[in-house]
């Protein structure tokens, strides 16, 4: 194992972690503030990726596609909130699961009908397509760097908004007691709508920036949704800071594990045995992490204050 | 007399007579469909014990179907083909898996529980896909199936049909008995008010864990039968979408009702077939249908079959 490879893996892990954070942030906010379980959050990530693909085809410009995708993802999120989710906040969790499950089925199939079942891809924009020399032997694609930075910027923006603005204060208060906030004369319905819209937009944004890196395909949001759940359980539900650190941790562990598990195991066991259980163990690592957190810190790494 | 019992009698009577009726219609395809619905119903009944009676919304139940199916398939591959031995292995493996995952997941409740079962289910799914020796992603076709006392009567035709029907009946009856017992009452008490049940001296978590184990083992048995029917296993059995389908089945049928899971299972299989025969993209209709059902119609099919005001034994 060379240091160069290790560094690249770490950067990939960071980048995957940032993607996870963008998805988990919206999920954990919606969850913390409204107590709403939105399984369709993953599908909004998929929608973001497909929107990026469609707009790149349409306009030919990646940056234009990013902006248009974000606006469309926001509008879609608000429409879903207005027509469906709004009516489910006070229902039991089973109803929320079923309705959002129905949305997943519909949107996955719709993507298949419109764009076909095959995987699609788009090229990163021209000015971000090169790679930069980090050390003498290490080159890393600029685009992946930019996604890491984009994730950091969003994280900082969310942190500042939630800690220092009026709307952030309302979100924190809403997470503790939505009823109380409503009784104090705040339009809680509108607050929910804003939180939901922003969450949908963040998931869409994650899909957009993932589009040049991963394959765009129907159902691409389903698996990453579950990893996002692992992230918010690990980080503590409703906690943006927790989601951030947990996302990085999960991203790093998953990426490093997949590349290194077999190698590490083969230093202890014989190679054929290591080859057999290495991949299995690697895919289990993040869930083992989650289980360990549950045992030792049931509220997560950085639990949100006041959320019971 | 209880109307749900009449419904059940008609249902099982029809299923019992089906192998004699089907040759008259002349459709082997239909019997495959009925077996599929019965297998779905077995897993759904077990999930209803968890969700309907226990209030534990698990989104990873299909993983136990997968674990059961793989335990059976791997044992078969290694030369074990006695059905009783296979049953024992399946029960042991699914039970053990459930003991570990349930023990951890039940440290929490509500939405946490939902997400954790989802995560563990996904973990099991990925573990199954990484079993390279047993087909990995592609799954495994089985060349030998379970035998009973060395005979292969249970491998196809009426033998297999009645094996599945018998298991369905046993599951239906068994879970009903459990739900009517003191154990079932405590489970529902803990569903409606866990603190009160705890204060009354019932160890809520232990009751829930036992229900979780029972449900997982029944799901495992449905996995065993699935292998016997399909002669094939693949990790796709354990995806969380399958778990979602199971929830759809029991909610459509009516939670914690006597026949809900069976009615729901047949309803879903029929809807899939009918919609699927009209258009290939039937999910475009099915998805919004689910949303509309949640928004506007509650209570499930079995409530349509019971007169208004007469409640099931849910409450």
ipTM of the complex: 0.88
3-state secondary structure of A68: helix
Mean local confidence (pLDDT), A239-260: 91
Query: Token pair for residue A228?
Result: 């996002």
**How far does the CA of residue A98 sit from the closest CA of chain B (Å)?**
7
The answer to whether A191 and A170 have CB atoms below 8 angstroms apart is: yes
- Spatial distance between the Cα atoms of A298 and A87, rounded to a whole number of angstroms: 31
- Cα–Cα–Cα angle for A121, A127, A132, nearest 5°? 95
Give per-residue pLDDT as tens, B78-129. 988 899 999 999 999 999 999 999 999 998 888 889 988 998 999 999 999 8
CATH class of domain segment(s) B3-305 = mainly alpha
* Burial (0-12, 13-18, 19+ Cβ within 10 Å), A63: exposed
For A77, phi and psi rounded to 5 degrees? Answer: -60, -45
Residues of chain B in contact with residue A283, where contact means CB-CB under 8 angstroms, are 123, 126-127, 129-130
* Per-residue confidence (pLDDT) for residue B311, from 0 to 100: 43
Mean local confidence (pLDDT), B291-310: 63
Give per-residue pLDDT as tens, A183-203. 898 888 888 899 999 999 999
Task: Find the residue in B nearest to A219 (Cα).
Answer: B241
Find how far residue B55's CA is from the centre of its chain: 16
Between the alpha carbon of residue A81 and those of residues A6, A179, A198, B140, the distances in Å are 43, 19, 11, 43
Q: Which residue has the tokens 């018998």?
A: B166
**pLDDT at residue B31 greater than cutoff 50:** yes
Q: Does B137 touch chain A (CB under 8 A)?
A: no
- Spatial distance between the Cα atoms of A255 and A245, rounded to a whole number of angstroms: 15
Please, where are the H alpha helices in B142-238?
157-180, 182-192, 194-199, 204-230
**pLDDT at residue B292 greater than cutoff 50:** yes
Q: Which of B104, B294, B295 to mutate to test the interface with A (most CBs of A within 10 A)?
A: B294
**pLDDT at residue A205 greater than cutoff 50:** yes
Q: At what angle do helices B83-105 and B204-230 cross, to 10 degrees?
A: 140
* Per-residue confidence (pLDDT) for residue B24, from 0 to 100: 67
Residue B51 has its nearest CB partner, among A94, A105, A295, at: A94
* Per-residue confidence (pLDDT) for residue B308, from 0 to 100: 46
Give per-residue pLDDT as tens, A149-177. 999 999 999 999 988 999 999 988 887 78
Find how far residue A177's CA is from the centre of its chain: 26
* Per-residue confidence (pLDDT) for residue B265, from 0 to 100: 95
Q: Which long-range contacts does A140-147 make (Cβ < 8 Å, 24+ apart)? A: A140/A8, A140/A11, A143/A212, A143/A213, A144/A11, A144/A12, A144/A15, A144/A213, A145/A11, A147/A15, A147/A18, A147/A19, A147/A209, A147/A213
**pLDDT at residue A143 greater than cutoff 50:** yes
Band of pLDDT at residue B313, cut at 50, 70 and 90: very low
* Per-residue confidence (pLDDT) for residue B182, from 0 to 100: 95
The answer to whether A35 and A174 have CB atoms below 8 angstroms apart is: no
Interface A-B, measured as beta-carbon pairs within 8 A, has a size of: 122
Q: A280-297 b/e with 16+ CB inside 10 Å = b?
A: bbbbbbbbebbbebbeee
Give per-residue pLDDT as tens, B208-253. 999 999 999 999 999 999 999 999 999 999 999 999 999 999 988 8
Q: Which of B246, B215, B210 is nearest to B62 (CA)?
A: B246
Q: Which long-range contacts does B305-309 make (Cβ < 8 Å, 24+ apart)? A: B305/B3, B305/B4, B305/B7, B305/B259, B305/B263, B306/B3, B306/B4, B307/B3
The answer to whether B161 and B31 have CB atoms below 8 angstroms apart is: yes
Residues of chain A in contact with residue B298, where contact means CB-CB under 8 angstroms, are 95
Mean local confidence (pLDDT), A76-85: 94
Cβ–Cβ below 8 Å for B111 and A222: no
């Amino acid at each position: 194992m060379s240091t160069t490879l290790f560094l690249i893996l770490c950067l990939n892990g960071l980048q995957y972690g940032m993607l996870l954070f963008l998805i988990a942030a919206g999920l954990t906010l919606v969850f913390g503030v409204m107590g709403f379980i939105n399984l369709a959050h993953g599908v909004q990530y998929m929608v973001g990726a497909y929107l990026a693909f469609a707009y790149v085809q349409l306009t030919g410009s990646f940056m234009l596609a990013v902006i248009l995708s974000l606006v469309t993802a926001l509008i879609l999120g608000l429409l879903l909130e207005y027509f469906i989710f709004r009516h489910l906040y006070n229902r039991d969790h089973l109803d929320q699961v079923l309705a959002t499950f129905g949305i997943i089925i519909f949107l996955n199939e719709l993507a298949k009908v419109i764009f076909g079942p095959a995987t699609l891809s788009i090229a990163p924009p021209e000015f971000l397509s090169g790679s930069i020399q980090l050390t003498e032997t290490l080159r890393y694609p600029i685009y992946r760097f930019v996604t890491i930075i984009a994730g950091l910027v969003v994280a900082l923006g969310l942190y500042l908004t939630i800690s220092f603005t009026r709307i952030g204060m309302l979100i924190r208060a809403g997470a503790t007691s939505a009823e109380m906030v409503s009784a104090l004369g705040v339009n809680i319905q509108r607050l929910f709508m804003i939180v939901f819209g922003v969450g949908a937009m963040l998931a869409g944004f994650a899909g957009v920036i993932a589009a040049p890196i991963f394959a765009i395909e129907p159902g691409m949001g389903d698996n990453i949704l579950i990893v996002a759940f692992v992230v918010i359980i690990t980080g503590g539900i409703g906690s943006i800071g927790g989601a951030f650190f947990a996302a990085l941790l999960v991203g790093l562990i998953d990426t490093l594990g997949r590349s290194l598990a077999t190698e590490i195991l083969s230093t202890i066991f014989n190679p054929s045995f290591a080859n057999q259980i290495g991949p299995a163990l690697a895919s289990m690592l993040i869930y083992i992490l989650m289980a360990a957190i549950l045992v030792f810190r049931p509220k997560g790494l950085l639990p949100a204050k006041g959320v019971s | 007399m209880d109307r749900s019992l009449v419904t059940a009698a008609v249902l099982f009577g029809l299923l019992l007579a089906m192998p004699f009726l089907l040759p008259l219609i002349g459709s082997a395809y239909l019997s495959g469909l009925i077996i599929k619905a019965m297998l779905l119903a077995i897993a759904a009944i077990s999930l209803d014990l968890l969700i309907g009676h226990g209030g534990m919304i698990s989104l990873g139940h299909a993983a136990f179907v997968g674990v059961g199916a793989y335990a059976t398939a791997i044992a078969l591959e290694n030369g074990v083909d006695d059905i009783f031995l296979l049953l024992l292995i399946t029960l042991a493996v699914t039970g053990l898996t459930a003991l570990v995952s349930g023990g951890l997941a039940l440290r929490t409740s509500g939405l946490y529980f939902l997400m954790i079962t989802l995560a563990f289910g996904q973990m099991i799914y990925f573990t199954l896909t990484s079993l390279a020796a047993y087909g990995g992603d592609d799954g495994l076709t089985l060349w030998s199936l379970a035998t009973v006392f060395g005979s292969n009567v249970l491998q196809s035709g009426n033998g297999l049909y009645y094996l599945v029907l018998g298991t369905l009946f046993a599951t239906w009856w068994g879970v009903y008995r459990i739900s009517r017992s003191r154990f079932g009452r405590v489970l529902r008490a803990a569903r409606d008010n866990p603190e009160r049940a705890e204060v009354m001296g019932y160890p809520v978590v232990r009751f829930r864990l036992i229900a979780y184990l029972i449900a997982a083992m029944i799901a495992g048995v449905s996995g065993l039968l699935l292998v016997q029917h399909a002669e094939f296993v693949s990790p796709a059995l354990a995806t969380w979408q399958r778990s979602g389908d199971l929830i759809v089945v029991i909610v459509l049928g009516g939670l914690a009702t006597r026949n809900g899971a069976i009615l729901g299972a047949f309803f879903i299989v029929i809807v899939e077939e009918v919609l699927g025969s009209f258009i290939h993209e039937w999910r475009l209709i099915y998805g919004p249908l689910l949303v509309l059902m949640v928004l506007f119609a509650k209570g499930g099919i079995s409530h349509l079959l019971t007169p208004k005001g007469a409640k099931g034994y849910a409450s």
